[in-house]
Amino acid sequence: MLKNITDLFFTNRFYAGIVSIVFLFVFAGFFQSLFFVALAILLLFLLWVIIEIIFLYRVKKGFHAKRIVPDKLSNGDENEIFIELQSRYPFACQAKVIDEVPHQFQLRDTAWIVNLENNESQTLLYKLKPVKRGEYSFGAVNVYISSFLKLVERRFSFDNNKMVPVYPSFLQMRKYELAAFSNYLEEFGIKKQRRLGQTMEFEQIKEYVQGDDLRAVNWKASARRNSLMVNQYQEEKSQQVYAIVDKGRLMKMPFDKLSLLDYSINASLVILNIALKKGDKSGLITFSNKMSLVVKAEKKPGQLSKLLEALYSQKTKYLESNFELLSAFIRRRISQRSLLLLFTNFESVHSFERQLPYFRILAKRHVLIIVIFKNTGLEKLQKNDPQSVQEIYQQTIAEKHMNEKHLIVKRLKQNGIYSILTKPKDLTINTINKYLELKARGIV
């Protein structure tokens, strides 16, 4: 009984009606002939309220709602959330639906007004875009039902306290996986790479058929078989690919609410998945002031799930990154020549030069690609038309910082180290393009 009382809400129309009747009684005090008219209106009003209460509460389970949310959300992507509504009332009603979304989104507009006919069902759709990994708790789906004059509302509450984890962008991973192996690469921004030179491993000798490359004819085997035989090759596989994610203080910088660290984690998941599909071995290293996590490069079943869980669990205090420790660790633990994709950032040539000796050491034994980020905020500032001395000073500083980024790329090239200078939003595309380019050139 107490629950039914707490679930009963009088609407604004109810309170407006009470105020109007009170005003009418006060007015009737001056004109006694109107008193009985006001009394009749009050009784009629209360009678209508009682009728609405009876209509709303005579069906014990008059309404049902269910939130349909994925088992996990994809970080940095639009995730679809559905709310299924089903009216079990034998009359038309209006439902005000309020979903209690996780507090991390800071949303105050997840409310809808829906009109339903008797026994009708409808589905609501909205999207949520998380910008941080972790656990997100949904509250209740609250539904307020009213009918006829909408003087009274009955509250229903469903799906209390549902926790959903937010993982690195697996939606982006699936999207680019399809793109990398389809004939529509340009639609996703992925460049077609023409294979250069002979970067293939010998597979078998087979009989020549029309269309085979004559340069692959094996003359010794042809002489023995008295027919043309050709060497058949397959794409070189089982190369080690490591994504190395810097969790230092410079990776805390946010762009479009997503930190550089989370951009790097999302891109790492995509490129490691593509490497696995290409037949290479994928591994992961994370570090800051000390080594955090290492997933050995492998291509056995379950490796992708292992990498996904490892990336999801990454936490950091954004301390100063120790590249000397990273260099020593890789020299000691990774003996086979590998592709190292280092996601990091530098804001000045001076800070970069202090770490360059360690990069040189890594580049001697491995194919090293250093990924650094453009500051899109500085790019916008540079394009502005300055109107004051202060704005001219700010624009000059912005140009200086942007030039230093290009100087870093130039210094890397001079030392035989590959680099990617990219906007955060283009990180994944540019990383895929570089990987496919190196595969096509036979460097990996």
What domains does the chain contain, in order, with CATH numbers? 1-167 (2.60.40.10), 170-194+236-440 (3.40.50.410), 203-234 (no CATH)
The pLDDT value given to residue 310: 96
SS3 state of residue 210: coil
Enclosing H/E stretch for 295: strand 291-298
* DSSP-assigned states of every residue in 84-106: EEEE--SS-EEEEEEE---GGG-
The pLDDT value given to residue 5: 46
Average pLDDT score over residue span 101-105:
93
Average pLDDT score over residue span 294-319:
94
**Whole-number mean pLDDT of the chain?**
85
Torsion of CA 24, 25, 29, 33, to 10 degrees: 70
Largest CA distance in the chain: 126
The pLDDT value given to residue 444: 74
- Enter the DSSP assignment of 313: T
The pLDDT value given to residue 21: 60
CB count within 10 Å of CB 44 equals 11
C-alpha radius of gyration, the chain, whole number: 33
Per 3-state DSSP, what percentage of the chain is helix, strand, and coil (rounded to 5)?
Answer: 45, 30, 30
pLDDT 10s digits, 383-432: 777 778 787 787 888 788 889 999 999 999 999 999 999 999 999 999 99
282 vs 90: CA distance, rounded Å: 59
Distances (CA, A) of 167 to 134, 173, 305, 343, 361: 7, 12, 11, 19, 34
pLDDT 10s digits, 50-73: 888 888 888 888 999 999 999 999
Q: What is the pTM of this model?
A: 0.81
Instruction: Single out the residue of 305, 304, 285 nearest to residue 295, CA to CA.
Output: 285
Q: Is 65 left (phi over 0), alpha (psi -120 to 50) or beta?
A: beta
Under a CB-based contact definition with an 8 Å cutoff, are residues 115 and 79 in contact? no
Average pLDDT score over residue span 247-267:
95
Q: How many residues does the chain have?
A: 444
223 vs 73: CA distance, rounded Å: 62
More confident residue, 75 or 110: 75
Instruction: Single out the residue of 276, 196, 271, 270 nearest to residue 443, CA to CA.
Output: 196
Under a CB-based contact definition with an 8 Å cutoff, are residues 334 and 433 in contact? no
Distances (CA, A) of 144 to 8, 140, 141, 152: 9, 13, 10, 9
SS3 state of residue 434: helix
Report the b/e string of 355-394 with b at 16+ CB within 10 A.
Answer: bbebbebbbeebbbbbbbbbbeebeebbeeeeeeeeeeeb
The pLDDT value given to residue 369: 97
